[in-house]
Structure 1
């Protein structure tokens, strides 16, 4: 089995995951990826394909090794026989005359020359085994990306869910404050209705996010390829999103060497070159050597020869060549050459697309880094603004619309900063995938 070492550059971790009625079990992102890589069905199928390809990549399967076979035979016949001979040998006639024939032996045959067909076939089988290993790495990459995206999507919704809880708490305090003021004539019914409307809106938002959280949670489990019954919820949203601070030149220099799609294309072009050589082998004669050691015994009731036995070696060599096949050989060679040209064109296409994808991914990554800094400043500003508006509101120096606007702006700022960090991690993940640094 080809050994693949996973280099996971995913450093984002959650602190804890609660277990229903049991002790706390830590399922951080690396652990979830480990589970998915082991149990994801597409990854398991790819692993099986690697085993099949490696089993096929043998000298015997390529036709390089000799074929050895054991043979045996036995026959008995009974016939009414009349045999007339020339010369003075009398006629022999017998009803129910028996003849017995039995024997056995070991035979070995080997193709000596076939235009290097077997050698190139063996190289092709080895290349196909290598290709299946690259496909496995690609499937592991896809699984890592899918699990990570599901994981961050879930955390983003949970973060918004917690913000909604904070909003609901603020709205409850506001309604309570308004109702108290109403008792002392310091407020009016319209202000109470506004406070109640804000509370109702926050309650509905919380219910919607709770529903989204459950769906995202099950999507996360689905991406693992295995049901994990003990995971109940992610308690901590204090998510460290430390970025790797990727280097453009380092990633770019390794792009064409490590990208899995390009590696597959390069391996495919090698396979096409070997198939072209295998097809051209039909232009050469086929020379085959065979040898064996056998025993044979015959017994006859009628005839001059009533007993015959042979024991010993035999060896032979044969040569065959197809003189005419109605142009099929020429067409096969032409088709193999065209297929090789297509693989070369495919590499050019992938290289062009790869460089474009890398530049777009790097641009997105740098944009997300800048967005984080802007969102940090925005959150600081919104916190200060809300606190000022809140103090003024409770002193009766501002209206409820200004308070509500500051409350919602603060909630958006918290959510936007968290999502900016997640988007930066996903952009980082995409860069690692494209540059082939995610799985080695």
Structure 2
């Protein structure tokens, strides 16, 4: 009768185990690949690098000329009346025409101009080029190229941070998965103990207390398994966030862990300062500030510019009272010129900019020295932390061997009636704690190794 009460729990455990076996395993390499392809933070960092790449292009350098084209067209129609007060008709020889009836000179009549059309067209191309600007463009171009390198380093830092975030969640899912296996084994051992206690009670070999203790322990073990499964589901959702995948996507994770050779880690640590991304960024910022200073000094030198243009104009004027024919004026013009501009004194703004650029360069040098000390400290701390965690893992492995042997011996003695169920349960709990502590120590050691690899600039150069 007692076993029927636990049938739903056993069925649930069986179904969950089967579902785990049927799930596709997400390997560490596949997790890295999906993260690099889909993670939104990495996508943003790559876009920033692309922007910096565009900025360092010759199209943004100021070394190319500026060419401007203009064109225009104008249409005009006039209806006009021209009056000639005080003027008289002439006979062509300068003599006025006399009216035969009045004997007076004939006044010159008004002239009407109806639908007088005029068109004007023009086009012009102007090219301007700065031949020399005090080397400002040259150092600005070098600064933009270095800013691109800095953006690449920032993207690398984002990538490394994201990979660390990925494996902190990935290894947490792996740890919980192994803990579920341990808890299910504990549940199975307790179930066997309950069956044995029921048989012994039926034959009068033990009292009811042993059965009740086994029932309580079985319920606790069942709750532990349920809680750990729920924790795994939550952790897998966290992992899907990093992968930018469907939150409810289910998969198993690889629980295999290998550590890098100690001699190889020694080499990485020795070269860590040269490869550390923070140090590389500090050096890049130092170079950028130096180029900024050199560019600011260009204000003290003259600017030489060239300009050229080609233009075309067409004017068509309607006939008028003084020009009876259509007047057409077609003009083409071309010109070249050079300018020299020297800002002898700009009120002190240029001097101030140069002074501030020098101060910023000094500050960046001090910051670089500070970062160098911090990186040395971080590498030393990470190296010591990894070695310590690795030793803890080795000790926990030995502890599991000891706890396993202790539980096996205790189980044999319990069958012989030499110890109580309480003592057996304590040995079982000791084994459970040893196994879960070993799992925790294993993944803590691996994360510490990854942190050391990130600080030495080798995280993306080794197989995780």
Q: TM-score, normalised by structure 1?
A: 0.85
Quick one: structure 1 residues 231 and 193, their matched pair in 2 at CA, closer, same or farther if it must change by over 3 Å?
closer
**Correspondence for 2:6:** none
User: How far did residue 308 of structure 1 move?
Assistant: 4.2
Give 1:48's aligned residue: 47
Residues 174-197 of structure 1 deviation map (CA, whole Å, 9 limit, x = unaligned)? 122122212222212222222222
Residue aligning to 1:347: 368
User: Match for residue 288 of structure 2?
Assistant: 271
Distance 1:183 1:26, change over 3 A: closer
Secondary structure at the aligned position of 1:402 is classed as helix
Q: Which residue in 2 is equivalent to 1:11?
A: none
Question: Quick one: which of 386, 389, 393 aligns to 1:372?
Answer: 393
Q: Does the 8 A contact of 1:20 with 1:230 survive in 2?
A: no
- Which of 162, 177, 190 is 1:143 aligned to? 162
Deviates most, 247-256 or 155-164 = 247-256
Q: Which residue of 1 aligns with 2:58?
A: 59
Aligned position for 1:169: 188
Aligned counterpart in structure 1 of residue 377 of structure 2, from 349, 353, 356: 356
Range with greater deviation from structure 2 (19-28 or 333-342)? 19-28
TM-score normalised per structure 2: 0.81
Q: Over alpha carbons, which structure has the higher Rg?
A: 2
Distance in 2 (alpha carbons) for counterparts of 1:280 and 1:72: 40
Q: Is the 8 A contact 1:365 1:424 kept in 2?
A: yes
Deviations 1:28-49 (A, max 9, x none): 0110110011000011111122
Q: Which residue of 2 aligns with 1:291?
A: 308
1:281 CA drift (Å): 1.5
Which residue is equivalent to 2:240? 221
SS in 2 for 1:240: coil
1:42-191 superposed matches below 5 A: 42-76=41-75, 100-191=119-210
Q: Quick one: which of 243, 253, 261 aligns to 1:245? A: 261
Q: Partner of 1:410 in structure 2?
A: 431
Measure how far apart 1:99 and its partner are: 5.9
**Aligned residue among 277, 293, 317 for 1:260:** 277
Q: Is the 8 A contact 1:137 1:439 kept in 2?
A: no
1:364 and 1:175 mapped to 2: Cα distance? Answer: 44
Stretches of structure 2 that go unaligned for 5 or more consecutive residues are 1-16, 83-110
| Corresponding residue of 2:355 | 334
User: Displacement, 1:94?
Assistant: 9.4
Distance in structure 2 (CA, Å) of the matches to 1:195 and 1:73: 99
Q: Is the 8 A contact 1:378 1:413 kept in 2?
A: yes
Is the contact between residue 20 and residue 232 of structure 1 (CA under 8 Å) also seen in structure 2?
Answer: no
Give the whole-Å Cα distance in 2 for the aligned partners of 1:354 and 1:346: 12
Q: Which structure 1 residue ranges, 5 or more long, are not aligned? A: 1-17, 83-92
- The structure with higher relative contact order (CA 8 Å, sep 6+) is 1
Secondary structure of residue in 1 paired with 2:222: helix
How far 1:312 moved relative to its partner? 4.0
Q: Which moved more, 1:195-204 or 1:98-107?
A: 98-107
Q: Is residue 437 of structure 1 aligned with residue 458 of structure 2?
A: yes
Aligned to 2:403: 382
Q: Bigger CA drift: 405-414 or 274-283?
A: 274-283
Equivalents in 2 of 1:324, 1:184: separation in Å? 111
RMSD across aligned positions (CA): 2.8
Q: Given that residues 20 and 252 in structure 2 are in contact (C-alpha distance below 8 angstroms), is that contact kept between their aligned partners in structure 1? A: no
